[in-house]
Amino acid sequence: MLTDLIGTPYKIYQVKGNKYNLDSILLANFVGKINKKIKNIYDFGCGNGVLMFYLSLKSDSKITGIEIQEELFRLAEKNINRNVLQKKLFVINKDIREIDIKNADVIVSNPPYFKKTKNVKISKSTLRQIARHEIKIDLDSLLKSASKSLKSKGSLYLSFKPERLTEVIKISKNYMLETKELRFVHPYVFKKPNLVLIKLVKNSNEGVFTQPPLVLYNDKGEMSMELKTIYKTN
């Protein structure tokens, strides 16, 4: 299925069980402006390439996606070719635990949010299972691989579940990653956050800055002014 990528000039192909969602748009927005000195950006678990496309509008850097699932890797390739971005965007079909990267200035990842347990109901779609649950990669392996791949002072941007934030902070310290910036995302102002956006920096000093919360909808279910702005600027 070919669909418009909201807020961009691009059209992308998607498959059932792996359609892009708001989390990718919010994470791209959270990355903010990308310094011209940034040369190498990687997307760990790039899926069909959505996050890469958003970042391509912010930077002229080389952006490489790593995707373990061959079906999604092929789809990302197809989307890159469809939008004539072969000189800027690249994708590799590999497990991030097996890659040999040492030059990453920035890594972004919208990883599986949930641990696979007997009490958690999972989708019948294999693509969705792997995208949402720690089947192929867990949090520890993700942070370890990111740290190994980043240059000193390089940045890792994650979207994750707030209830696992303590786990992120604790594990990241084992791999020389310091949590430097947070933003909690609330569906409504009176609801608890259901997403947290996280910036970690390799070999950095301690000290965390918390951005103002991002509220997505007003009490009538309409998009907040900030969300409308994010949709237009990404």
CA contacts within 13 A on the Cβ side of 108: 29
Residues in the chain: 234
pLDDT per residue as tens digits for the range 2-56: 888 988 999 999 887 667 789 999 999 999 989 889 999 999 999 999 999 999 9
Contact 14, 72 (CB under 8 A): no
Q: If DSSP codes are grouped into helix, strand and coil, which group holds residue 58?
A: coil
pLDDT in tens, 62-119: 999 999 999 999 999 999 999 999 999 999 999 999 999 999 999 999 987 556 655 6
Q: Give me the chain's average pLDDT, please.
A: 89
DSSP summary character for residue 15: -
Pairing of strands 40-44, 62-67: parallel
Here the tokens at position 192 are 């608890």
* Strands 195-202 and 150-160, bridge-based pairing: antiparallel
Nearest C-alpha neighbor of 29 from the set 8, 58, 62, 50: 58
Q: What is the CA radius of gyration of the chain?
A: 17
Average pLDDT on 125-154 reads 77
* Beta strand segments in 110-231, E: 150-160, 177-186, 195-202, 209-210, 214-215
Q: How many whole angstroms separate alpha carbon 109 and alpha carbon 94?
A: 15
Structure-block tokens of residue 198: 């996280």
Report how far residue 200's alpha carbon sits from residue 65's, in angstroms, rounded to the nearest whole number. 19
